[in-house]
Every structure is written in C-alpha cells, then in structure tokens.
Structure 1
Amino acid sequence: MFVDRDLSVERRESVAVMRLSRPERMNAMTPDMEAALRDAVEAANADPSVRVIVITGAGKAFCAGADLRAVKEGNYYEKQADLLRRADSTAAPYIGRFSYFSLSPKPIVAALNGAAVGVGITLALSCDLRVARSGAKLALSFSRLGLAAEEGVALLLPRLIGASAAMDLLLTGRTLTAEHGHNIGLITSIYDDDDFESAVLSNLQEMTTVCSPDAMRRIKSQVWDSVLCGYDEAVKRARIHIEESRQGNDFQEAVASFAEKRVPQYAGLSLSRDKQLV
C-alpha cells in the first residue's frame, strides 16, 4: 500500500484502488493531490499485474471541487499551470487536464462514494466508467462560482448525456442525486451505502478475470477516439474562457462570498460584455 499526504494506493488483487485522501477538506483538489494521482496512474499503467484502476475518496466525499482555501493562499495557479504543461507535453493525442486517463491501457473507474463537485466531476467524466454510492450527490457548479466550464467538460458532457441535459446541469449548477445521474446516463451503476467499495470491487471481478487486457485496451482506445473528436479545440477554447472568468469580478465575488459564508451578489451582463466571448 502506498500512502502520500494527499493520496493512498491500495492493491485489491488485480485492482489498484486510488483514494483521494483529504477527508477533512472533503477531498477538495489541490495541485499536489493532482500530481500524486498522475504519478499513481502512471505507476499502475506500468504494472502488468494491475488490470483495473479505481479512483475513490476517503471519508464521506469523492471530491468537493478545487480547494478555494488553497486558491486564496498563494501559488495555486502557478502549480496548476505546471500540471497542465505536463499533461499537454505527454504523448497523448489529446491535450487536457486528465487526458492521460484516456491513454491508460487499463480501464479507470470513478467510484463516487459521496459528493462530487466541479473538478471532482471533471475527473469522473475523464474516467471510463462512473459508479456511485446511492446517497452520492453531484454538481457541476462552475456557473455558481462565476466560472466557465473547465477543460473539455463542455464537450464531454453533451457527448455522454446529450446536449439538453448537459446544458441544464452546466447553466444551473444544480445538485443531482446518483439516481438522477444514472437516469441520464452519467452514472453506469449505483450501489447501496453499506459495503459500497466491496460491491464495486466485486462487480469488477468479471472484467479482471475473463476479459482480455489487450482487447480492453483496444476497445477503450476506439471509444475515446470517437468521443474525443474535436477535444483539443474544445480544451483550447475552454482555457481562454476559464482564464478570463478567473480574472473577472464574478469569480472574485464567489471566492469572497465563500470565505464570508454568504450568498454571492453577481452583477448583470451587458451586450458589449457578451460580444467579448470567443
């Protein structure tokens, strides 16, 4: 078992279970956690005894989005920029924050043990399969933070669940249940709260024992090649939007209201501001 400050990795037979390990912060994502996850996935890729990778969270949450406290404390964006450069400089056919998931020869399963918000959903969307605890809640809360949808979310989500459902989730930032996520195709399977992780691993047994690793690698590549057509351009445009929104008044108001534990007060839009969108 490997244990990092922000991530632990445990072998359960031929499955590598990677656990986001900041339960006191509901596993809110930091650049250090993201770097540890990248290293763990690359290590599992190189280990022939690993057939499947599972990513889950410690405690009651999967990942409660980016750590806004870390954002306020200093060099968050500098570290994040280094991670993006690392992702983009790999041999991946697609640039993007978690694009290396699609290049892994092993199926990667997001096991949503609890709340998945913002970048937690971005991570889950980049996995091959998403399963959830019955009580898990999900939200793409970018609009409520004064931010554009990050990376390839605005391309991936419509291709997974359809444009109308994706538009609804992204525009409203509304929280949805695991059952709702299953109904719209975002979640593939739901398991009872009791023994969630054991149930997930049990249901992966067929994949790890009777499915050809080489066939799974090839099928995974075929599916992602289809899904990610146009992904590079979507990511490039998303990065323009996210950087502009991060520098805008709405995001500053979102960070301030979070710290002050109040409802954000956003100003209205003008037509001239709309025209600045790329």
Structure 2
Amino acid sequence: MELKVTRYAVDEAGVATVWLHRPERRNSWTGRMHDEYRWICKQLDDDPKVKVIVLTGTGHTFSVGADPRALTGYVTADHYDPALPKDAERPGYGIRPEFDTDMAWQLGMSKPMIAAVNGACAGIAVALAAFCDLRFAVEGAKVTTATPRLGLPAEYGLSWIMPRLIGMTYAADILLTGRVFLAEELGSMGFFNKVLPEAEFAKHVDEFAHMLAAASPEAVTTAKRQLWADLLHSDVRAAVEESKALIGALMNKPDYAEGVAALMEKRAPKFVR
C-alpha cells in the first residue's frame, strides 16, 4: 500500500513506531488514514521481528480527531459512513469475536501497543489511545472527546473501555461533559501511565518500549490476551484455572528455559521469536 497520511519504522530491537502523518492538518483522521493504519498494524502484527508498537503523531500533535471538513459533510448526510474500504486489512481479528470491530481490534493484536500522546488528542484519537495497552503523554497536552459539544454519542466503544480503565465516575466526567482535559488531570485519573515534560517524553517512551521489547514475546502476548479476555467475564475461578493451564503450556516453551537460565546465570535473557 502507498502510505500518504501515515508512516512507520521498525528498529533493530523490534520496536515499531507508527506516526499519524498529516501535520498540515494536525494529523486529523480520515478514511484514508483509517485504512492505512489498519494495513500497517497488520504488517507489524504478522512480522515476527516486531515486539512492540508505539503509536504517535508527526510534529507536536497526536491527532485532533476527525477532519473538520468530513464533519461538515455529515450535516446533510442521512447516515454515518466511516469511509473504510470493504477489503481493508483486519489486524487483531479472529482472537475473540468481541474484538472483531473498529478500534477494539487493537485488543486482539499480539503485540503490545503504546500510545505516545505527544500533543493534542481529540475525538476518535481518544479511542485510538484508549484501546492501546499503555499510554504516555507529554505535559500540557489537551485531550477531549468533543462529542457532547457536537451533538454526538460516546464513539467507538469509549463507553465500554473508559470505565474499565479509570472507573465510572471519571469516565462520566470525560464522556458526558466533552470538556478539555490537560494530560496531567487524566494522568491523575489513571488514563495515562505517566505524563512527562516535553524534554523527557520521547526518551522515556523509547526506553519503556525497549524494556518491553526485551521481555519474552510469547509471555507478553499471553498476558495481554489474559488481561483483556478476563475483563469480559467476572469468574475469578475461571481466570485462575486458565492461568494455570497457560503456565503449564508456557513452561514447555523455549522462552521459559531461557528465562530460568538467565536468572541462574545472573544475566539478561535473550529471547528469540
């Protein structure tokens, strides 16, 4: 696919960075960007060399959400059209039927996803960040769903995931008011793992991503699948029993043998995917 509004790169450690790339429009979201983003993520999830995916925006903006020109066009439309081709890639699909839909497919990805919110984040971009596994933000970044001020509902599953990330009380504040939050306030709610000064932001995200990339890829994928799957049921016994079965299965894998050997030899493990 020819990439016009996104870009990506993978370093030697297996850390992939994906940029929303419309700096002249503050990385605003379009159907084309949606299609390219899904295509990139499918390539990265299928690539055994990739261990971590970092999502960010070009310049000093994460994404201001839907392009205002597209929003204007919907005023006279009789239905919502996400402008996604029927043959668009389906990364993360096939793991659980609950995840086989827009944005929620990020939960089905085998690779952990980190949202690096490097500036303003609005509308659908909040959902992009929310459905990542981890989130970091630069101090002063403005974040808003904006939808209540546009006469729209909570979009793309935010009403499902926000209460699970930060609780019902904070989620209601974000989704009902549509007010503008600074990253620091959302950090205090638990939405962001950490909020950092601009001078430290890129370095911290990079170091965190590489720390994650050094872990056992199979163990990380398995734990990610456990985290999201267990949110879908309230049976703690099932979670415990499933984890015990997974322990037995992963103990027969090379990563476990390497992890134990590294522990005994007091060295960093060298996992091979």
Same fold (TM over 0.5): yes
Report 1:35-50 matches (<5 A).
35-50=35-50
Q: Distance in 1 between matches of 2:87 and 2:163?
A: 23
1:227 CA drift (Å): 2.8
Deviates more, 1:195-204 or 1:30-39: 195-204
SS of residue paired to 2:198: coil
1:134 and 2:143 aligned: no
Identity %: 34
The answer on whether the counterparts of 2:15 and 2:210 sit within 8 Å (CA) in structure 1 is no
The answer on whether the counterparts of 2:6 and 2:37 sit within 8 Å (CA) in structure 1 is yes
Q: Distance in 2 between matches of 1:191 and 1:83?
A: 40
Q: Distance in 1 between matches of 2:134 and 2:32?
A: 24
1:101 CA drift (Å): 0.9
Q: Distance in 1 between matches of 2:67 and 2:106?
A: 22
Tell me the equivalent position of 1:80. Answer: 83
Q: Distance in 1 between matches of 2:91 and 2:9?
A: 28
Tell me the equivalent position of 2:111. Answer: 106
Tell me the equivalent position of 1:260. Answer: none
Unaligned runs of 5+ in 1: 231-278
1:198 CA drift (Å): 2.8
Q: Distance in 2 between matches of 1:3 and 1:136?
A: 31
The answer on whether the counterparts of 1:156 and 1:228 sit within 8 Å (CA) in structure 2 is no
1:205 and 2:210 aligned: yes
1:220 and 2:219 aligned: no
1:106 CA drift (Å): 0.7
The answer on whether the counterparts of 2:138 and 2:197 sit within 8 Å (CA) in structure 1 is yes
1:147 CA drift (Å): 0.1
The answer on whether the counterparts of 1:71 and 1:77 sit within 8 Å (CA) in structure 2 is no
The answer on whether the counterparts of 1:56 and 1:62 sit within 8 Å (CA) in structure 2 is yes
Deviates more, 1:82-91 or 1:170-179: 82-91
The answer on whether the counterparts of 2:54 and 2:209 sit within 8 Å (CA) in structure 1 is no
Q: Distance in 1 between matches of 2:185 and 2:35?
A: 31
Cα deviations by residue, 1:37-74 (Å, 9 ceiling, x for unpaired): 10111101111111100000011210111112034458
Report 1:240-255 matches (<5 A).
none
1:3 CA drift (Å): 7.4
1:91 and 2:94 aligned: yes
Tell me the equivalent position of 1:30. Answer: 30
Q: Distance in 2 between matches of 1:109 and 1:221?
A: 15
Unaligned runs of 5+ in 2: 235-273
Compute the TM-score of the two structures, normalised by the length of structure 1.
0.75
Report 1:46-195 matches (<5 A).
46-73=46-73, 77-80=80-83, 82=85, 90-93=93-96, 94=98, 95-194=100-199
The answer on whether the counterparts of 2:32 and 2:84 sit within 8 Å (CA) in structure 1 is no
Tell me the equivalent position of 1:234. Answer: none
Q: Distance in 2 between matches of 1:21 and 1:85?
A: 19
Compute the TM-score of the two structures, normalised by the length of structure 2.
0.76
Larger Rg belongs to: 2
Question: Which residue identity lines up with residue 201 of structure 1 in the other structure?
Answer: D
SS of residue paired to 1:55: strand
Work out the number of aligned pairs and report it.
228
Report 1:246-265 matches (<5 A).
none
Tell me the equivalent position of 1:10. Answer: 9
SS of residue paired to 2:65: coil
1:135 CA drift (Å): 2.1
The answer on whether the counterparts of 1:96 and 1:152 sit within 8 Å (CA) in structure 2 is no
The answer on whether the counterparts of 2:65 and 2:122 sit within 8 Å (CA) in structure 1 is yes
Q: Distance in 1 between matches of 2:212 and 2:112?
A: 9
1:11 CA drift (Å): 1.8
Q: Distance in 2 between matches of 1:228 and 1:68?
A: 35
**RMSD, matched Cα:** 2.6
1:229 CA drift (Å): 5.2
SS of residue paired to 2:24: helix
1:90 CA drift (Å): 4.0
Question: Which residue identity lines up with residue 30 of structure 1 in the other structure?
Answer: T
